[in-house]
């Protein structure tokens, strides 16, 4: 049965009841990102489109080694012989499926809501002794003020996050132990809407990894794999690094040495091939084990489906390298999960970087019809030699020339002379 993908990238807003009709700008962003489903798609899977689309892009997918994802209008997509596959489950997307007659197999929505809340991930850390000193869930302005006054002295700056958020949204960074009334008012508004806010110390990240799991309705949880994540200062996704093969080999740690700065990537040829061979080490294999514990608790809530858990290596104030295995829990599909699907395009010993990039502002008629498209991005890894690139998003959408796109850079790490 073919799948129909549903790009409700605003899942968290849907869950908390804030999602109304998308603005033109938000709808444009969704359409520009909608082909991220290529990571897990198979031939003849369906991507509903709102109107005009970049026909040349979709016709060229097979030539690039990508699955032949079919763009169809919402009317044409109606059928009872299609399986509905949303980014994440909500009452709004279930309504979409019912209106179109698509088959669904959804977990309990209250479980989806709790699983995607920052309360769940933070309280998991606190229960299991994983929380960094000073981390807390607060439910009133007084709790917030008292907590910051009693905060551990080794941390002088804090991040306060809303109860629901995604891609680095709805957080205040650099909060002092004596926050302004404006800051307090903003946090109180989150508490009234979400029931809580989360306080945690600002950290110095060294490496971030997305651990991907699948919880079936029946049977054992599966670990799908891990990708290294590149994010901006707010935590929004910029790129993923992936390697060939079904199993990521491991080396300890992902980043060696002290905390003098982020690794350039030159020493990472097999460090991304870490995490799921089952050998014991002090870093990412322990994070995978903790990820299975998270999955067990999610199953106990009534959730099943994809789960992405973001973990972080960070530099502690004293200078040592430490692990935060459960930085965020996403009970939905993630960019990391999509990234892992591109392993099928890699040859032995190859690795890739999947990036989001901004298209050049000016687009001529000649560029509109040119083939093949040139990839206007470069690897973030100075030790990586890109041998081929594949554009994984259309140059044009219903809204005209795309502002942002995604591309897969495939190659090998440079060898030392």
pLDDT tens-digit series, residues 50-66:
777 888 899 999 999 99
pLDDT of residue 235: 75
Separation CA 306–CA 217 (nearest Å): 11
Residue 201: cis peptide before it, omega within 30 degrees of 0:
no
The whole-number pLDDT of residue 79 equals: 65
pLDDT score of 136: 96
Low-confidence residues in the chain, pLDDT < 50: 246-258, 260-281, 365-374, 417
Q: Domain locations in the chain?
A: 2-106+350-413, 133-201, 204-340
| pTM more than 0.85 | yes
CATH, range 133-201: 3.30.1490.20
Domain 204-340 of CATH type 3.30.470? yes
Residue 17 pLDDT: 76
Instruction: Encode pLDDT of 317-328 as tens digits.
Output: 888 899 999 999
Would you state the pLDDT for residue 224? 94
């Amino acid at each position: 049965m073919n799948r129909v993908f549903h790009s409700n990238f605003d899942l968290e807003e849907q869950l908390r009841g804030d999602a109304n009709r998308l603005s033109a700008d938000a709808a444009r962003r969704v359409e520009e990102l909608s082909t991220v489903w290529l990571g897990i798609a198979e031939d003849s899977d369906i991507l509903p489109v709102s109107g005009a689309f970049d026909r040349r892009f979709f016709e060229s997918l097979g030539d690039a080694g990508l699955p032949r994802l079919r763009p169809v209008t919402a009317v044409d997509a109606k059928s009872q012989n299609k399986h509905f596959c949303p980014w994440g489950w909500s009452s709004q997307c279930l309504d979409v499926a019912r209106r179109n007659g698509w088959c669904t197999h959804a977990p309990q929505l209250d479980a989806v809501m709790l699983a995607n809340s920052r309360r769940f991930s933070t309280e998991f850390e606190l229960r299991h002794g994983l929380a960094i000193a000073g981390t807390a869930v607060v439910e009133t302005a007084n709790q917030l003020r008292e907590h910051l006054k009693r905060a551990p002295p080794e941390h002088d700056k804090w991040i306060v996050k809303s109860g629901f958020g995604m891609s680095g949204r709805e957080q205040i960074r650099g909060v002092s132990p004596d926050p302004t009334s404006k800051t307090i008012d903003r946090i109180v508004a989150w508490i009234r809407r979400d029931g809580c806010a989360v306080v945690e110390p600002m950290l110095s990240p060294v490496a971030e990894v997305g651990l991907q799991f699948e919880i079936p309705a029946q049977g054992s949880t599966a670990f799908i794999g891990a990708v290294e994540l590149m994010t901006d200062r707010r935590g929004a996704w910029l790129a993923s690094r992936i390697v060939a093969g079904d199993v990521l080999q491991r080396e300890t740690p992902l980043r060696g040495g002290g905390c003098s700065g982020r690794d350039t990537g030159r020493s990472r040829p097999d460090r991304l091939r870490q995490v799921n061979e089952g050998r014991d080490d002090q870093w990412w294999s322990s994070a995978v084990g903790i990820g299975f514990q998270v999955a067990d608790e999610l199953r106990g809530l009534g959730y099943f489906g994809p789960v992405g858990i973001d973990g972080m290596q960070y530099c502690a104030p004293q200078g040592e390298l430490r692990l935060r295995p459960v930085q965020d829990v996403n009970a939905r599909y993630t960019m990391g999960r999509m990234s892992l699907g591109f392993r099928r395009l890699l040859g032995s010993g190859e690795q890739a970087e999947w990036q989001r990039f901004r298209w050049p502002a000016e687009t001529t008629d000649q560029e509109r019809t040119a083939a093949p498209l040139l990839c206007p991005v470069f690897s973030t890894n100075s030790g990586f030699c890109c041998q081929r690139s594949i554009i994984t998003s259309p140059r044009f959408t219903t809204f005209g020339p795309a502002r942002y796109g995604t591309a897969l850079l495939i190659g090998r790490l440079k060898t030392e002379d």
